[in-house]
């Protein structure tokens, strides 16, 4: 596979498993497509589907999914907690490997044109594909949601990029585009009060909020009086985190309110920083964060960053295996709070790995039997790489143990450096066990 693209369509159906299966079956039927995740939400009445493949296959699978959604979802009957404007509400393409942003922009235009022409659905381009500056942001396009479409489509400024400027009552409208990897993430609160979740969301999102005078009794800033400019318009205050969008809502299935967050760039604003700040803001308001939830997939790097952050706060070595660092992140963020967190299913780097058996996955006895057979492989290269990897693992173990001994506190930075380098060496040599064969 020369290049890999991720597609993450959001369909406005999260309750009828039969309809969801019809959509995912249409996607899976396309050759070279790997379906990674199907994440339905009953309260949001929305399903996030994640699949990967080469550009040509992704193009066909995305269209087939949108086509089937238009057949089985009737927007006239759709209600849910999540903002939406179409049967396929949004369909983003994300470059994963050996594919550029430009490639995915062109891909989004081809799919958008086909959806508009063949299905008669108004299509708006967003993010990197946006043809208008104000349409780069999904909330701007989705303003008023499905119910506002009949009026909006009569206005010239709302003429879609593809398809008719005509209301499609059954399918609504669809937003398509190329974006960077987006992390959909919910922080759980020990309250049913949606306004408290919204208050915290307004503090952390980049867009911010209207400035308010703190209420004399309530700790919720939404209860305070809005501070206005001379012309009467609300005075605005920027939020705490760049490239972060957030809203508050109540999830009946969990019997609690959540802060629903989208990270448009998990490197400019990290999950752990936002989580820690949400914990602090919740405490100020007399509520508590109980954990968090991933919707869809997350890059391994984002959780490694979080795991190392919490290990450092504990004054522990970060020179540990990726598995242990991810486990630290999962425990610290409370990722098992409302639903099970399976790293092999939720981390995209693991989910897209080849499922065929590798030498490094077989039992030690089997490996030794294979080495001792009359087969030329695995041979000396694989054995040497495995021995080196084991040695690096031992080095990491000693560094981690030394890091925790009180007699060597002055050596902590050195032990951390040695441990991290040993882990990298271990992983490189493990790769070479397979590569040599």
Instruction: Indicate which residues carry an active-site annotation.
Output: 82, 436
Task: Give the residue carrying structure tokens 């915290």.
Answer: 200
Distance CA 50, CA 53 (A): 11
Among residues 97, 88, 53, the alpha carbon closest in space to that of 69 is found at 88
| Sign of the CA dihedral running 244, 51, 14, 163 | positive
242: alpha, beta or left? (left if phi > 0; alpha if psi -120 to 50): beta
- Residue 293: which residues within 8 A CB-CB, separation 6 or more? 185, 186, 187, 188, 258, 335, 337, 338, 339
Contact 319, 416 (CB under 8 A): yes
Contact 311, 328 (CB under 8 A): yes
Q: What is the CA radius of gyration of the chain?
A: 25
Contact 209, 237 (CB under 8 A): yes
């Amino acid at each position: 596979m020369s290049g890999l693209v991720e597609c993450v369509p959001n369909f406005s159906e999260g309750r009828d498993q039969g309809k969801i299966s019809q959509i995912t079956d249409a996607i899976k039927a396309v050759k070279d497509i790997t379906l990674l995740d199907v994440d339905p939400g009953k309260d949001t009445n929305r399903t996030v589907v994640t699949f990967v493949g080469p550009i040509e296959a992704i193009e066909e699978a995305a269209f087939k999914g949108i086509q089937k959604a238009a057949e089985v979802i009737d927007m006239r009957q759709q209600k849910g907690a999540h903002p939406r404007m179409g049967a396929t509400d949004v369909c983003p393409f994300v470059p994963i490997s050996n594919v550029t942003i430009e490639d995915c922009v062109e891909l989004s235009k081809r799919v958008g044109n086909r959806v508009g022409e063949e299905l008669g659905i108004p299509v708006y381009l967003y993010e990197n594909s946006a043809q208008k500056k104000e349409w780069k942001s999904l909330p701007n396009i989705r303003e008023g949601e499905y119910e506002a479409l009949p009026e909006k489509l009569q206005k010239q400024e709302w003429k879609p990029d593809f398809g008719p400027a005509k209301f499609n009552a059954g399918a609504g409208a669809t937003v398509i585009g190329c974006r960077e990897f987006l992390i959909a993430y919910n922080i759980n609160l020990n309250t049913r009060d949606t306004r408290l979740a919204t208050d915290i969301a307004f503090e952390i999102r980049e867009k911010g909020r209207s400035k308010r005078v703190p209420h004399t009794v309530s700790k919720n800033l939404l209860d305070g009086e809005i501070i206005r400019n001379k012309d009467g318009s609300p005075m605005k205050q920027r939020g705490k985190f760049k490239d972060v969008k957030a809203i508050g809502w109540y999830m009946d299935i969990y019997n609690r309110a959540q802060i629903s967050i989208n990270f448009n760039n998990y490197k400019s604003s990290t999950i752990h920083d936002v989580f820690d700040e949400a914990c602090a803001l919740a405490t100020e308001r007399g509520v508590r964060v109980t954990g968090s939830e991933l919707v869809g997939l997350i890059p391994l790097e984002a959780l490694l960053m979080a795991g190392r952050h919490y290990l450092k706060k504990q004054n522990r070595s970060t020179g540990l295996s990726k598995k242990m660092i991810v486990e630290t992140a999962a425990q610290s963020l409370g990722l098992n709070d409302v639903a099970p967190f399976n790293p092999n299913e939720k981390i995209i780097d693991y989910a897209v790995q080849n499922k065929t058996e590798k030498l490094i996955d077989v039992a030690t006895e089997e490996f030794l039997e294979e080495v001792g057979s009359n087969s030329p492989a695995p041979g000396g290269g694989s054995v040497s790489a495995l021995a080196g990897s084991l040695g690096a693992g031992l080095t990491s173990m000693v560094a981690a143990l030394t890091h925790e001994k009180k007699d060597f506190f002055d050596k902590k930075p050195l032990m951390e450096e040695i441990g991290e380098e040993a882990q990298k060496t271990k992983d490189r040599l493990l790769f070479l066990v397979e590569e040599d064969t």
